[in-house]
Every structure is written in C-alpha cells, then in structure tokens.
Amino acid sequence: MKQEKRKINRKKYIAFIIIIVIIIGYALYTIYNLAIKPTSTFIVENGNLASEENLQGYIIRDETVLKGENYKNGMVQIKSEGEKVAKGERIFRYYTKGEEKLVEKIQELDIKIQEAWENESNTLPSDVKLLETQIETKLSELYHINDIQKIKEYKKDLSSYITKKAKIAGESSPAGSYLKNLIEERSKYENELNSGAEYLTASRSGVISYRVDGLEEVLTPSNFASLSKTKLEELKLKTGQIVSTNEECGKVIDNFACYIACVLETEKLEEQEAKVGSKLKIRLSNNQEVEAEIVYMAQESNEENLVVFKLERYVEELINYRKISFDIIWWSVKGLKVPNEAIKQESEDLYYVTRKIVSYTDKIYVKVLKKGENYSIIENYETGKELLEKGVPQEQVKYRKLISLYDEIEL
C-alpha cells in the first residue's frame, strides 16, 4: 500500500511538473511573439507622407539701388523700411549743409511768430482757426500712438499745419510789422533748406528697403549663369543673418517675385525627376509653405547641380536676409496610411490588403499612391472597370469591398 501511494504521488508530482513546464513554455512563447511581432493587425488611419530636404539657399532679388551725390551728409527716410512705393515717389533725401542750424532757427522763429500773432491780433481768420484745431487734434492723438511710421506721418502733418499757419499770418500782417518780418525771415531759411536738399525718387514701383549690402548686382536674376557653388561660397554669408541698414543709400525691390539659389545632389534631382519648370513647395523658417518653381539648373559636377527656385509669395518676409535655411518639399500625400508589410502584391501593378472582421477576412484591392520607408498611402479603386482591366475576375469585382478608416487589416 505504501509503495502504491508513493507511485501515485510520484505520478502526480511528474504531472504537476509537466503542467508547470507547459505553462512556462506557453508564457515564454507568448512573450517572444509579443516582442518580435507585437501585433498581427493594424488599424487603418489617416496620415501624411512627404519627401523633404533641408538646405541653405541664397536670396536673389530684382533690386534697384538709389544713391545720390550727397550720400556722405547722411540721410532722412521719407518712406519707411518695407513700405510700398510708386514710380516717381520721393523715398529719402540727404541732409543739406548746415541743416541742423537752419532747422533750429526755423523752430525758434515758429515760437516767435506764434507769440507775435497772439499779441498783434485777437481776431483769427477762419483758416487759422481750422489749422489750430487740426494741430490740437493731432497733438492729442499723438500721445496715444506707438507706431513709429504713424508718428512720422503725424509730425509731417504738424509741420505742414504750422507752415501754413505762418504763411496766413504773414499775408494778413501789415508790411513792415514785426510779425511780417518774422514770416519773411522764416521763408528765407525754409527756402535755403529746401534749395540745398537732394531728394531720391523711385525709378520703379516696388518695396523700399535700406538694407543695402553691395550684393544687388551680384545676386541678380538678370544673369543666373554667372552663379556657381564656388562663387556663392566665396560670399561668406551667414545663414539667417539680418542685413544691416545702410545710412547712405536705399533700394527699390520687386515685391512680386524673388529667387533662392542652392546646390542639390544630382541623384536626388534625378530621383524626383526635377527639371526647369517643375513645381513643388518650400517651407520657410516661419513655417509658411509656399509654392516654388525651378527656373534654372546648371550642373556643377557629376554629383551636384546649382538650382534656382522662383517664389511669388512671402517675398517681403525675405527682404532682411541674403542666406536662409529652408525645406524643400518634393512631394506630400495625404490619405489612408498603412504599414508597407500590410500591402501584398498580386501582380506587377495590382496590390491588396486583407481586412479582418471578427472571424473572417476580406481581400481588398487598393491603389498605392505613395510608398515611404515604412508606410504607404493607399486609396480604393473608384470603379470596377479599373480592376477588370488589371485582370481581376468579374465575380471578385462584382462583390468587391472597400477599405475604410479604422478598418483592421492583417500584417
């Protein structure tokens, strides 16, 4: 009896060990599968695939530099940086010789004229009353303005009102009076100031800029053939560096188009089938995406090409720079995104995915719009005719299924 009990206990013990081994083995197998193949299905989702490349490029613009004879005197900006101008408009002027003293004398005379006017007459012409009201209004509004351009405009208006008021006062004063003499003296200084001023006007319409760096005739769209990788590198420009304001001259820029010159690998250009006339997108440093067109290509070597892109938007945002960092977006596709391993190939140009619903599966033919490194963008065939032309049997086409967002597909 004791021996039989021992045999039974031994059998139970062996059975227990076997069960434990089986459980551990199954657990290890499951863990292995989860580690190597975490899941055998994938949920279809919306996604985006793109081919992008980061580059450094040189800004090329159609620019006309304006510089007068008295550039050493210093300049007064009439139009502000980035302001649009029409052909013939005054943009800036140079200081005249002794201008500072002339301005001081005119300001002193304005005060004396105001005091003399108040002493000589208590009856103000309606024109003067209107001008004084306008002056008071402008002064009141000026306290609440922070925009530099508007402040300049207000100062210009105030100066104009004061000048008009002085002229009216002079015309209404009797000859030989103290006020009349002050007005005449002021006119003399004003004429002296204006006669010696050199004004620069826009030779064309565009955007005014005072960021003149001397490269306007080097980086010009009139002669892309003069550019090369070596010539661009010799400029020794820093990426993203803002061009300094010039105190001697200004320029008018074509605000409808600008260009970016850069060097690209020949292999990449061939891969993307890029050529003159090709259109793509460029992402600027402000994350704005803009359409661009290749307008010039020149082979630098077997490995590299010089390429020039034309932009017709966000031109004014690039005025401050000569060299920038940007992204080329060769292509970008949105749609149903699935892993490449989920797409099976039936024939040369026929692909399908397997949709899983509970205990059964559906074979669904799909178009592969774009294939990336790990994922692809797919879509359904719009008509059964396309599938018939690819050799799919009529019966399968008749009962064909469509892939949808959030479907579960096998890998």
Burial class (CB in 10 A: 0-12, 13-18, 19+), 303: exposed
pLDDT digits (tens, 9 = 90+) for 276-316: 999 999 999 888 999 999 999 999 999 999 999 999 999 99
Tokens representing residue 375 in the block: 């994922």
CA distances (Å), origin 217, targets 64, 208, 226, 336:
9, 17, 11, 49
pLDDT digits (tens, 9 = 90+) for 358-372: 778 899 999 999 988
Q: How confident is the model at residue 172 (pLDDT cuts 50, 70, 90)?
A: low
Q: How confident is the model at residue 1 (pLDDT cuts 50, 70, 90)?
A: low
DSSP SS3 for 213 = coil
Sequence ranges of the domains in the chain: 1-38, 54-64+214-244+254-332, 98-195, 335-410
- The amino acid present at 351, given as its one-letter code, is Y
Looking at 34-48, 143-157, 235-249, which range is the least confident one? 143-157
Q: Is the pTM value of this prediction over 0.75? A: no
The class of domain 54-64+214-244+254-332 in CATH terms is: mainly beta
Percent of the chain with pLDDT over 70: 81
- More confidently predicted of 29 and 185: 185
pLDDT given at position 397? 87
Tokens representing residue 191 in the block: 């004429």
* Cα–Cα distance for residue pair 346/271, rounded to 1 Å: 26
- Look over the chain and give the mean of its residue pLDDT values, rounded to a whole number: 84
Q: How confident is the model at residue 177 (pLDDT cuts 50, 70, 90)?
A: confident
The answer to whether residues 49 and 372 touch, using CB atoms and an 8 Å cutoff, is: yes
